[in-house]
A and B are shown apart, each in its own frame.
Chain A
């Protein structure tokens, strides 16, 4: 018999089957990435505008924060396999689980934002509300970026291998979302800080996401294929167009501000969705999962999990096969 050689070797995968599981998360999760960032960065914008005496902008940004903070838990609970058990999320606090840490941040930030709103409408609870303002603004910062930690802390290559940049992409997206929302609902002459925030967020979002995709190299392929690629194109187009409209006409025309805000918001949401979808493409193809691991082994960074050299010098003589052992 002849050795058929390596050409006859089957592809190094099990019938092309995935090695890891795709996430089971549905549309609510990318929407939550967006609303969580909106809530977080809007609270910061609202608080700072208030401190600067821009009440018109502050009120609207608080409203945007409230919308985000209300929509977020609804989206998350509806995504659960057992929505009635949502309170189990607060059963413990685990730093090893970004989802656990994030649930607490979201709960605290949402409660603070709620207090601020309650005070604004009823005039009640002035003292707690005074504390709740900076609390909501501060908690809003990790609320905007922890979702990146959540997806990076998985076995999905396209998320895990971009763990250093993904939080910056999400942070920029949050700034973009909050700026866009505020710009769209605020009279232009009061909206200068929101415009600056939206434009800054747009530039950082585009730059950071591009850099992340490039750094991933071959592992970044899911961003260049299928739904993640389409969503990426939509995001870039909307963000670029929205930024251009806002930068040129946003300060003078209310209609332009609304259009720019809507475009930027759509872009931010599409960008979150593109990251979400890339994870599915990455998990479902064994090439990415095995490829990255084989590279580590080939580079001598790790021996891998398999070993051919036995730790005993010679086999026990009495040891037959397990089939014949008693």
Chain B
């Protein structure tokens, strides 16, 4: 497991802190939105009135300038004990998981299962937002997280379509972009982020990334062992398109069901070929100009 990013820990020398992150285990999320509220309170984020969406219990809709945690609600007609095959003991294990081990996303009785997941900025190892930011407002902290410096951002908006997760957005009547800071201010005081502290089920776990990943592997093994074949870790590997992330997830369905991209890629990986095509096109334009100006009569 390699946790390094381009700027962390290298550029911090002995000032570097351990890389901190979130493991969001959605299998125990109860959709209480305490994280959303705690985040708004602590970071003094303006109100975001979105109205009534009709999308289950979700009226926050998405992450954005004024929503740095977002709890997604998915209703599926897919009861727990009809989920795939499996031996009798596995079915029994799943039932006991649901009962005493806090697999809280299943509602019994009417055959509806609920998936709930608290989404957040991923603090990517290869962060497109940070790489494209022309002002340097976005930077890598000593904790390996990605933060916008609000006194530097000039609201150019480049990071907004660059993020493969649609996290960043511009705040109306402010002009700058805002997103989760992984409570940079609290970290410096050795406090855990507000959302993790508020989460009553420990669905949001905060800690050193290496340790979180280890715990997550065991949790995945536990769920898989009990026949919960849909359980998967998302962004927990160094070899995905963003080099893994500080905020990673345990999901119970495909990422896109939660509004997450199944194969996010940092566009910088293609930037070499983009610059090459740009240079070739510039040369072609030069050739065209020469041909037009020097060819034929003047």
Q: Are A and B a genuine interacting pair, yes or no?
A: yes
Contact at A20–B242, with CB atoms within 8 Å? Answer: no
Contact at B281–A170, with CB atoms within 8 Å? Answer: yes
Instruction: Output the nearest chain A residue to B23 by Cβ-Cβ distance.
Output: A322
B229 to chain A, nearest CB (A): 7
Mark out the residues of chain A between 259 and 302 whose CB falls within 8 Å of any chain B CB in the assembled complex: 279, 283, 286, 289-290, 293-294, 296-297, 302
Given A1-B81, A96-B132, A153-B132, A23:B218 Cβ within 8 A: no
B170 on the interface (CB 8 Å rule)? yes
A192 on the interface (CB 8 Å rule)? yes
Contact of A163 among B152, B274, B289, B291 (CB under 8 A): B274
CA distance A41 to B135 in the complex (A): 27
CA distance A125 to B144 in the complex (A): 50
Measured between beta carbons, the chain A residues less than 8 angstroms from B77 are 4, 8
Instruction: Output the nearest chain B residue to A14 by Cβ-Cβ distance.
Output: B259
Interface-side segment among B31-39, B182-190, B263-271:
B263-271
Q: Contact string, B165-191, partner A, CB cutoff 8 A, digits 1/0? A: 111111000111100000000000000
Contact of A94 among B136, B155, B165, B275 (CB under 8 A): B136
Given A20-B163, A155-B163, A48:B294 Cβ within 8 A: yes
Contact at A175–B164, with CB atoms within 8 Å? Answer: no
B161 on the interface (CB 8 Å rule)? yes
A71 on the interface (CB 8 Å rule)? no
Measured between beta carbons, the chain A residues less than 8 angstroms from B280 are 167-168
Contact of B233 among A171, A297, A306, A321 (CB under 8 A): A306
A221 on the interface (CB 8 Å rule)? no
Given A154-B267, A323-B28, A193:B203 Cβ within 8 A: no
Instruction: Output the nearest chain B residue to A58 by Cβ-Cβ distance.
Output: B293
Contact at A149–B258, with CB atoms within 8 Å? Answer: no
Q: Contact string, A182-195, partner B, CB cutoff 8 A, digits 1/0? A: 00000000001110
CA distance A191 to B175 in the complex (A): 45
Measured between beta carbons, the chain A residues less than 8 angstroms from B61 are 17
Contact at A3–B176, with CB atoms within 8 Å? Answer: no
Contact at B74–A14, with CB atoms within 8 Å? Answer: yes
B46 on the interface (CB 8 Å rule)? no
Q: Contact string, B195-222, partner A, CB cutoff 8 A, digits 1/0? A: 0000001110100000000010111111
Given A52-B294, A201-B288, A315-B225, A286:B256 Cβ within 8 A: yes
CA distance A103 to B136 in the complex (A): 14
CA distance A323 to B132 in the complex (A): 39
CA distance A141 to B281 in the complex (A): 8
CA distance A283 to B162 in the complex (A): 11
Contact at A89–B156, with CB atoms within 8 Å? Answer: yes
Contact at A23–B157, with CB atoms within 8 Å? Answer: yes
CA distance A12 to B61 in the complex (A): 17
B247 to chain A, nearest CB (A): 12
B25 on the interface (CB 8 Å rule)? yes
B14 to chain A, nearest CB (A): 25
Interface-side segment among A79-87, A113-121, A226-234:
A79-87
A73 on the interface (CB 8 Å rule)? no
Contact at A155–B162, with CB atoms within 8 Å? Answer: yes
Given A145-B282, A193-B298, A200:B132 Cβ within 8 A: no
Contact at B255–A306, with CB atoms within 8 Å? Answer: yes
Instruction: Output the nearest chain B residue to A193 by Cβ-Cβ distance.
Output: B293
Interface centre among B58, B234, B289, B292 (most CB of A within 10 A): B289
B92 on the interface (CB 8 Å rule)? no
Interface centre among B101, B161, B175, B283 (most CB of A within 10 A): B161
CA distance A192 to B295 in the complex (A): 10
A264 to chain B, nearest CB (A): 14
A144 on the interface (CB 8 Å rule)? yes
Contact at A307–B237, with CB atoms within 8 Å? Answer: yes
Q: Contact string, B102-138, partner A, CB cutoff 8 A, digits 1/0? A: 1110000001000000000000000010011111110
Given A21-B169, A293-B261, A306-B234, A168:B133 Cβ within 8 A: no
A316 on the interface (CB 8 Å rule)? yes
Measured between beta carbons, the chain B residues less than 8 angstroms from A4 are 77-78
Mark out the residues of chain B between 27 and 62 whose CB falls within 8 Å of any chain A CB in the assembled complex: 27-28, 53, 55-56, 58, 61-62
B11 on the interface (CB 8 Å rule)? no
Contact at A321–B282, with CB atoms within 8 Å? Answer: no
Contact at B161–A197, with CB atoms within 8 Å? Answer: no
Given A21-B168, A306-B262, A307-B233, A321:B286 Cβ within 8 A: no
Given A45-B292, A82-B176, A91:B136 Cβ within 8 A: yes
Q: List 16 A-B contacts (CB under 8 A).
A: A12-B254, A19-B166, A20-B165, A21-B64, A21-B161, A89-B156, A145-B285, A154-B267, A155-B162, A155-B264, A172-B285, A196-B291, A200-B291, A306-B233, A315-B222, A322-B215
Given contacts A8-B77, A98-B132, 5 further A-B pairs with CB under 8 A are A41-B285, A89-B135, A200-B292, A306-B251, A310-B220
User: Closest 9 A-B residue pairs measured CB to CB?
Assistant: A81-B155, A81-B175, A14-B259, A167-B281, A48-B293, A85-B154, A315-B222, A323-B102, A197-B292
